[in-house]
Structure 1
Amino acid sequence: MTIKWDALLQVFGATLLVTLLVVTLFVLGIRALSSDKKGPAVASFAGCVAVVLYGLSLIIL
């Protein structure tokens, strides 16, 4: 049994980038809500939902 280190590093990098993206979108949504800007908040949370649903579709399908 061999470990494909390149593939493991690619998965780690993709996971790190997507995690940073979701956290950033969520924080921007919280900040927009705290300053009573509903439009950007909804867009940020919609982006979070889209990324999560895409990840779930990759796992399920």
Structure 2
Amino acid sequence: MAFQLKTNRKETENKTIRFPVQLIEQIDQVIGNQDVTFSSFVIQACEYALENMDVDAGQKK
């Protein structure tokens, strides 16, 4: 499944996180011509990562 940007979101809560400057620049480039905010991109990227990660790989047995 490919990562696709969505334009609308609702119900949110503020969190403060730090990003490497280079990562911010890369994200800004990608969303520059899209109808997507930085926050929306980060939320969607996190959702995509959570849906597609191998949960068992990081757990101890």
Task: Indicate whether the TM-score tops 0.5.
Answer: no
Higher helix share: 1
TM class by shorter chain equals 0.3 to 0.5
Structure showing greater Rg: 1
Q: TM-score, normalising length from structure 2?
A: 0.38
What's the TM-score once normalised by structure 1's chain length?
0.38
